[in-house]
């Protein structure tokens, strides 16, 4: 009986060591295949650099700028629910600013789906907020 328990303990240890080795090898392979973040940004011209001057653009007119990333999420939820009163309340409360088309902004921080920007001109000059990525393009002026 004791030989059986020793074999089970030995098999368990071998399995753990094997699992750890496989995990380390996978991590090494993945790190070798994926470029570092800064190099990826430099090689991809569609991703602007922090500090770049950009322009807000929408074919429909005003661009929503959230005072926080959460306020943009609230706006999206209200839009999906077709809740016009909720959208208007976000604007009235100041959680969402409606900024003129083609307003210049400075990129402060990159997010996955939104950018933090500082507004450089117009009614809200000097304010900062979050803008959905699809409303931002490289400045042409």
Residue 40 in domain: no
Q: Count of domains in the chain? A: 2
Q: What is the pLDDT of residue 33?
A: 57
Q: Identify whether the C-beta of residue 68 lies closer than 8 Å to the C-beta of residue 122.
A: no
**Dist CA 49 CA 26 (whole Å):** 31
72 and 117 together in one domain:
yes
pLDDT 10s per residue in the chain (141 long)? 555 455 555 567 767 677 776 777 667 666 655 544 444 444 455 678 899 999 999 887 899 999 988 998 999 999 999 999 999 999 999 999 999 999 999 999 998 889 999 999 999 999 999 999 989 988 766
**Dist CA 133 CA 79 (whole Å):** 17
Residue 77 in domain: yes
Residue 73 in domain: yes
- Domain coverage including residue 27: 2-34
- Dihedral over Cα of 53, 125, 58, 97: its sign: positive
Residue 42 in domain: no
Domain containing residue 80: CATH number: 2.30.30.40
């Amino acid at each position: 009986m004791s030989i059986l328990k020793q074999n089970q303990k030995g098999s368990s240890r071998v399995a753990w060591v094997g699992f750890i080795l496989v995990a380390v090898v996978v991590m090494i392979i993945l790190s070798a295949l994926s470029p570092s973040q800064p190099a990826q940004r430099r090689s991809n011209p569609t991703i602007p650099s922090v500090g770049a001057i950009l322009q807000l653009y929408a074919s429909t007119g005003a661009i929503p700028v959230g005072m926080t990333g959460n306020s943009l999420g609230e706006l999206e939820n209200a839009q999906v629910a077709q809740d016009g009163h909720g959208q208007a309340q976000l604007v009235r409360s100041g959680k969402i600013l409606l900024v003129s088309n083609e307003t210049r902004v400075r990129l402060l921080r990159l997010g996955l789906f939104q950018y933090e920007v500082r507004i450089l001109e117009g009614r809200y000059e000097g304010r900062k907020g979050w803008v959905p990525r699809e409303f931002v393009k490289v400045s042409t002026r």
